[in-house]
């Protein structure tokens, strides 16, 4: 009996299912990054809008570091 050789089959490195899963993960990561950036921008905007209010309050308060004349 002699050995029978057959054609080797090329197996894809990534299956279609794996490619879909990786794409879903990448989409989820991008959405999270976009949400985080939006939250950071919102926080910066709220800090900037609160800053003038804080300044006006500090102007009305007495500054303990100034000498009375």
Instruction: Return the ∠ at Cα 32 (arms to 27 and 37), rounded to 5°.
Output: 125
28 domain-assigned: yes
Q: From first to last of its 69 residues, what are the pLDDT tens digits of the chain?
A: 788 888 888 877 888 899 999 999 999 999 999 999 999 998 888 888 765 554 555 556 666 666 655
57 domain-assigned: no
Around Cβ 50, how many Cβ atoms within 10 Å? 10
* Helix, strand, coil tally for the chain in percent (to 5): 65, 0, 35
Give the total number of structural domains in the chain. 1
62 domain-assigned: no
The range of the structural domain enclosing residue 33 comes to 15-47
Q: What's the rounded Cα separation, in Å, for the pair 30 and 69?
A: 60
20 domain-assigned: yes
38 domain-assigned: yes
pTM as predicted: 0.49
């Amino acid at each position: 009996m002699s050995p029978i050789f057959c054609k080797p089959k090329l197996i894809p490195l990534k299956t279609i299912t794996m490619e879909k899963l990786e794409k879903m993960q990448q989409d989820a990561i991008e959405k999270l990054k976009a949400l985080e950036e939006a939250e950071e921008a919102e926080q910066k905007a709220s800090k900037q809008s609160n800053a003038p209010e804080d300044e006006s309050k500090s102007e009305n308060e007495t500054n303990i570091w100034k000498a009375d004349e």
